[in-house]
Chains A and B, each alone.
Chain A
Amino acid sequence: MTEVPLWSLAVLPAVLGAATIVAIAFDVALSARAGGRAASLTEVVVVPLREAVRLLVGQRRVTTAADRVLWRTGVVTVPVIALLAALVLPLGGVAVADLGVGVVWFNAMEILAWAAVWMAGWGPNSVLSLVGGYRFVAQGLAYELPHMFALISAATAAGTLRVGGIVEAQSGVWFVVWMPVAFVVYLLSAVAMAFRGPFDAPTGRDLAGGAVEELSGVDRLVFQGGRWLLLVVAVAMSVPLFLGGGHGPLLPPWLWTVLKTAAVLAAVLWLRRKFPTVRMDRFAEIAWVVLIPLTILQALAVGVLVLTW
């Protein structure tokens, strides 16, 4: 790992922001396609931009007896934790901060989403919004343990908690080859973490938007943008953890990282339209009865392989 200059701290949000905009544009194109027509390039660019501008000039909704402190804190926390989690994200062997405990740092930052979404749901003093916040806590309890076992599998195989070290350990065989369960569970939980479909019950239409119901104007822009950012960061992390990071023939490492991230992100965005929203109670039981045993077995298999091989 090379020493990283301080200006990379300013570059990171720009790169991630660009990646997020591309992801949103791709999602707009997929939406148009689902509606039975091809989206033009201008539409793909203009629709998200227009929505952003509309939200920027939009007025803030005021609710009775709102808990403003927690509400605003919750909203701002979402993009902030996405950026903090991305500090350990390597782009072709260079991360802003390749911490010795990178995997745990990543996990700790993304778990702050629990607090953020709950606070955003609690803040406006509105029933549907509050239900949305509680739903996310329930969803968090379901996805978090399988998610942790998936992270543990990758860290165990590499023998380090440093994300750079995990990438180095995959110079031969990618981890996805011998821990496919951990990879799939990781992607599931990454989507659940950003509460994107099919795990979008916390902001479901049956709740008129749930946790985002009362958000308007710039608050909504920050929260929804942060949510997209969180999805991009969480999905991008699957590349250094399971897909060999920057490893690949011919092309430079940073390009491989970008290509792999784009491929996984596109697959996730495409797949999420294929499934209906999963209810909390269902997902909780599936997570605890099926996913946790599966990921424990995966971690066990990885542990045995590491010790014997």
Chain B
Amino acid sequence: MLSAVPAWVFGALALVSGALVFRLDSMAKVTFALLASFLFVAGEVLLLGLGYLGVVLVLMMVMEMVIMVVFMIMYMMNPAGLMPMAMFHNTRGSAAIAGGIFIALTVGIFLVDWPARAGRPPADSTLALGESLMGGQMLTMMTLGLALFATIVASVVLATHRGRYDRFGDDLRADHPDDPIPGGVGR
């Protein structure tokens, strides 16, 4: 049970860096504390023998958090960006909710009558995951993909204040779009 040691260490570090999210006073530090927390969770997933999921977790979370830090600083910090701020809103209420959920989940872990393991772990968990996603769960993944893509397109359409008439003129006949940032293709 040598892997129990890193499992506990990763778990503790994930909790500590998760708690740091609410203790630190800079949005940049907060975001990277959250990233550290996710990376420790990825470590736990790797310890479970799920190589692909663990590494993909690292990949996704780094990309996500770097993009998030841009938006978080844009929305939540003062323009200079380096002045202290706090992550708290509704301090007591959120502490009560978070603490309550944590206790409920922890109690649940010990109270649930967990079933004994049926079956064996696959020899290649990546292959098993791929076959599941591209086989039995194909419909789920396709629906998910479409929903995500529709959300992205919809939010971009809602967010931009410029439409095709701004770009190509009232009769849409302009040869070159009138864009604030020209781009590199030379349209």
Q: Which residues does A use to contact B, with CB under 8 Å?
A: 65, 67, 69-70, 73, 99-101, 104-105, 107-108, 111-112, 114-115, 118-119, 122, 125, 130, 134, 137, 140-141, 144, 161, 278-279, 281-286, 289-290
Q: Chain A residues with Cβ under 8 A from B184's Cβ?
A: 278-279, 281-286
Cα(A293)–Cα(B62), bound, Å: 25
A100 lies within 8 A of B124 (CB): yes
B62 lies within 8 A of A100 (CB): no
A114 lies within 8 A of B82 (CB): no
B66 lies within 8 A of A137 (CB): yes
Q: Chain B residues with Cβ under 8 A from A69's Cβ?
A: 29
6 further A-B contacts with Cβ under 8 Å, apart from A67-B28, A105-B55, A115-B66, are A100-B126, A104-B52, A108-B55, A114-B63, A137-B67, A281-B183
Looking at the assembled complex, report how far the CB atom of A290 sits from the nearest CB atom of chain B, in whole angstroms: 7
Q: Chain B residues with Cβ under 8 A from A105's Cβ?
A: 55
> Would you mind naming 6 contact pairs between A and B with Cβ atoms under 8 Å apart?
A104-B52, A111-B59, A134-B70, A161-B52, A278-B184, A282-B184
Is residue B7 contacting chain A, with contact meaning CB distance below 8 A? Answer: no
Cα(A270)–Cα(B51), bound, Å: 38
B58 lies within 8 A of A108 (CB): yes
Q: Chain B residues with Cβ under 8 A from A114's Cβ?
A: 62-63, 66
Known contacts being A67-B29, A100-B126, A281-B183, is A111 close to B67, with CB within 8 Å?
Answer: no
Tell me the interface secondary structure of chain A in the complex. Answer: helix
10 nearest A-B pairs in the assembled complex, by CB-CB distance = A282-B184, A285-B183, A108-B59, A108-B58, A286-B184, A114-B66, A285-B184, A101-B51, A104-B55, A281-B181
Partner of A282 from B55, B81, B183 at Cβ < 8 Å: B183
Partner of A115 from B35, B51, B126 at Cβ < 8 Å: B35
Known contacts being A108-B55, A281-B184, A286-B184, is A65 close to B82, with CB within 8 Å?
Answer: yes
Partner of B29 from A70, A100, A134, A140 at Cβ < 8 Å: A70
B32 lies within 8 A of A115 (CB): yes
Q: Chain B residues with Cβ under 8 A from A285's Cβ?
A: 183-185
Q: Mark B67-80, 1 if CB is under 8 A from A, else 0.
A: 10110000000000
Specify the chain B residue showing the minimal Cβ separation from A111.
B62
B185 lies within 8 A of A289 (CB): yes
Q: Chain A residues with Cβ under 8 A from B58's Cβ?
A: 108, 112
Residue from B59, B65, B66 having most chain A Cβ neighbours under 10 A: B66
Cα(A29)–Cα(B29), bound, Å: 41
Interface residue ranges of B87-145 to A (CB < 8 Å): 124, 126
Known contacts being A70-B28, A100-B124, A115-B35, is A108 close to B183, with CB within 8 Å?
Answer: no
Q: Chain A residues with Cβ under 8 A from B51's Cβ?
A: 99-101
Looking at the assembled complex, report how far the CB atom of A238 sits from the nearest CB atom of chain B, in whole angstroms: 20
Q: Chain B residues with Cβ under 8 A from A125's Cβ?
A: 82
Looking at the assembled complex, report how far the CB atom of A277 sits from the nearest CB atom of chain B, in whole angstroms: 13
B126 lies within 8 A of A118 (CB): no
